[in-house]
Amino acid sequence: MRVQFVLSEIGIGLRRNLTMTIAVIVTVAISLALFGSALLIRKQVEAMKDFWYDKVEVSVYLCGDASQTPSCGGQAVTESQRDELQAELRATPQVQEVFYESQEQAYAQFREQFEDSPDLVENVTAEALPESFRVKLRDPTEFEVVASAFNGRPGVEEVQDQKELLEGFFNVLNKMQQIALVIAGIQLVAALLLISNTIRVAAFNRRRETGIMRLVGASNLFIRLPFLLEGVLAATVGAALASGALVALKAVLIDGQLRPNFPVIAYVSWADVLWILPFLFGTGILLAGLSSFVTLQRHLRV
């Protein structure tokens, strides 16, 4: 009797308040979808860090004929300078491996990288590209040690950390995550106010029923439960929609668009997406329950 009674009360309440309920569901869904996206971006950054930090190298570019850097002295690196640099790089404790890349190898890689833009390839010759040492570090964060030791050395044009290029990209992603979180927060506040208002209207609509319930000695919990569950149910539906949106994002945007077009990048896995979904439901249900409870304390005298 109890369960059936509470359920039918919830049904009556939701139907009576249909427009408000839809508004609650939509705001909760948008807010949680953004919250989920923010978590997904964080996961994406982690995935890319794991993937790239393994592969990033420090490039020690050597002077060419046209180098302007003072340490080059206006001439290309000599053979003895090159041998000395290579020996010293090998002797540096932070360095794991050193590869030499000649101008021809650099050119070959360049052509491969830009095979889609033949105009660019045509205008570049092997002589325009610098020869370099590709240095793999034991710990990718120890770039500074290598940079300070080799920058400005005779025959070295520039020491470049590929990680820095990635950091720029990660910064963009982090900014996106922050923006998503801020909007999610604002939406969440709006959702809470809407839930609170919906319940206030519902409590007002049913003041006859609740008045009689109070008089005949129904417990506080029993009087409040239908209202509380209404808010929680709407939030749960919102969380389900947000989960659907995240799954669609992963399936359509990441797996359908990004992965075929940029296959070299690591992407968030389905496990990452599934890991986020319980957070969406938890956040939605907890906040809806809380705001319902606070509203009922204020507007449903028992």
Residues found near other proteins in the complex (CB under 8 A): 1-2, 5, 208-209, 211-220, 222-223, 302
Closer of 211 and 256 to other proteins (Cβ): 211
How far apart are CB 231 and other proteins at their closest, in Å? 20
Closer of 49 and 214 to other proteins (Cβ): 214
Which helix (H) or strand (E) segment holds residue 134: the answer is: strand 132-137
SS3 assignment, position 269: coil
Closer of 216 and 264 to other proteins (Cβ): 216
How far apart are CB 284 and other proteins at their closest, in Å? 29
Residue 160 pairs with which residues in a beta bridge?
A: 59
Contact 151, 159 (CB under 8 A): yes
Torsion of the alpha carbons at 208, 211, 213 and 215, rounded to the nearest 10: -140
How far apart are CB 286 and other proteins at their closest, in Å? 24
Closer of 157 and 230 to other proteins (Cβ): 230
Provide Rg for the chain, Cα atoms.
31
How far apart are CB 2 and other proteins at their closest, in Å? 5
Residue 147 pairs with which residues in a beta bridge?
A: none
The secondary structure of 232-283 as a DSSP string is HHHHHHHHHHHHHHHHHIIIIIIIIIIHHH-TTS----HHHHHHHHHHHHHH
Closer of 217 and 260 to other proteins (Cβ): 217
How far apart (Å, rounded) are the C-alpha atoms in residues 93 and 99? 16
How many CB atoms within 10 Å of residue 50?
A: 10
Q: How many CA atoms lie within 13 A of 214 on its CB side?
A: 10
Closer of 222 and 281 to other proteins (Cβ): 222
Contact 89, 98 (CB under 8 A): yes
How far apart are CB 22 and other proteins at their closest, in Å? 23
How far apart are CB 219 and other proteins at their closest, in Å? 5
